[in-house]
Structure 1
Amino acid sequence: MVEIYWGCLVLGVLFALVTVLLGDLVSQALDGMLDFLSADYLKPVTVAGGITAFGGAGILLEHYSGLGSVINLLLALVCAFLLAVAVHYLYVRPMRNSETSSGYSEQSLCGRIGEVLVPIPGTGYGEVLLKIGAANTNRTAGSFDKEDIQAGARVVVVQVRDGAVYVSRFENNL
């Protein structure tokens, strides 16, 4: 049984090293082939942490406890489960919620509120400033309602088409 524990411990440590050193290369090489394995609670860090904890706990229990192999196996499984749950709730979930990116898709601009920088004529184009996360972006803008919009006016993005956003005046009647 000790060989299985050592195998799990070594496998977990190797997984951690490969992930840290070659994670981006492996991710690009696989190009999403393993995405079907993805579940909210089943992240690679959580699984690898559980396997590593199982191996480490099993080795320690076999070496230092006077309990039988079956009891040690059950205790190692409990340790692995508890550590995997702890890793998920103390590391994976907070990190997922803290991810920010300056990247955005054009369709995610719909509904965003911005400010007109360059006046938008009814049948032409101007420019708007939109806030995306912690960053700002300037976009070519046309009037969705085919009416002139002056500089400084607040607008809402209604549509994105042909690389330009189409906006309407934003009227906050609250």
Structure 2
Amino acid sequence: MTTLYWYCLGGGFAVSLLLVLAGEALEAVVDALDAVDAFDPLSGVAGVTVFGGAGLLLDAYADLAPVPEVAAAAAVAVLAAVVLHVAYVRPMKQSENSTGFSVREYAGKTGELTTGVPAGGFGEVVVRMGASTTFQTAASFSGDAIASGTAVVVVEVGRDGVLLVAPLDRTDTETSPEQRALPPRLQTR
């Protein structure tokens, strides 16, 4: 059994090293093997490596018959693979999702001026987009000055990406679902 454990331990380290060194080249192969979301090749390689290491430790320090020894090593390997998948692989896959958005999506969003907009000039508005808080260049939709700290709504997006904003009335923000979703420092109440 010791030979099997050494092959699993060495093979697991070799495949892990190969994945680290040539990860980009092997990404298509790994993705093809990842047909089921519950199984990930990285978790499987880690499980095989842990099986080899646990088997060697049990063989050396536990006085077990071969069948219980293999069963215990397999249980430790499965547990390690599941923990790795749940604690590392799945969160990393979810973090690969793009948080990008188009500047055109700002129209209709509410925010707060961090830098006031002078008449005919530019200021800065903070707007919450999804999980992001962004700071964008703003101009007054009507051309009038708007003071810093004023709650505004993005009326439209100019050709150059400048957000054209208008002040919000306090009554408008009491019923606005977007305003309720803003962090407390952006609310106007």
TM range, smaller chain? 0.5 to 0.7
Match of 2:78 in 1: 81
Residue 58 of structure 1: how far off its partner (Å): 2.3
TM-score (norm 2): 0.54
Match of 1:7 in 2: 7
Match of 2:63 in 1: 65
Match of 1:92 in 2: 88
Residue 52 of structure 1: how far off its partner (Å): 1.3
Indicate yes or no: 2:156 matched with 1:155.
Answer: no
Distance 1:79 1:127, change over 3 A: same
Q: Is the contact between residue 119 and residue 148 of structure 1 (CA under 8 Å) also seen in structure 2?
A: no
Residue 34 of structure 1: how far off its partner (Å): 3.6
Match of 1:55 in 2: 52
Q: Return the alpha-carbon distance in structure 2 between the equivalents of residues 77 and 163 of structure 1.
A: 61
Residues 66-110 of structure 1: CA distance to partner in whole angstroms, max 9, x if unpaired?
Answer: 413x43332222111122233345x427965xx7xxx95233974
Q: Is the contact between residue 50 and residue 81 of structure 1 (CA under 8 Å) also seen in structure 2?
A: yes
Distance 1:39 1:142, change over 3 A: farther
Q: Return the alpha-carbon distance in structure 1 between the equivalents of residues 27 and 159 of structure 2.
A: 29
Q: Is the contact between residue 47 and residue 78 of structure 2 (CA under 8 Å) also seen in structure 1?
A: yes
Instruction: State the aligned residue count.
Output: 161
Indicate yes or no: 2:137 matched with 1:140.
Answer: yes
Structure 2 unmatched runs, 5+: 176-189
Q: What amino acid sits opposite 2:3 in the alignment?
A: E
SS in structure 1 of the partner of residue 81 of structure 2: helix
Indicate yes or no: 2:106 matched with 1:105.
Answer: no
Residue 15 of structure 1: how far off its partner (Å): 4.1
Larger Rg computed on CA atoms: 2
Where in structure 1 do 4 or more consecutive aligned residues deviate above 6 Å? 131-136, 158-161
Q: What amino acid sits opposite 2:88 in the alignment?
A: V
Distance 1:77 1:31, change over 3 A: closer
Q: What amino acid sits opposite 1:105 in the alignment?
A: G
Residue 131 of structure 1: how far off its partner (Å): 6.3
TM-score (norm 1): 0.58
Matched-pair identity in %: 32
Structure 1 unmatched runs, 5+: none
Distance 1:31 1:88, change over 3 A: closer
Q: Return the alpha-carbon distance in structure 2 between the equivalents of residues 160 and 35 of structure 1.
A: 39
Q: Return the alpha-carbon distance in structure 2 between the equivalents of residues 38 and 161 of structure 1.
A: 45
SS in structure 1 of the partner of residue 45 of structure 2: helix
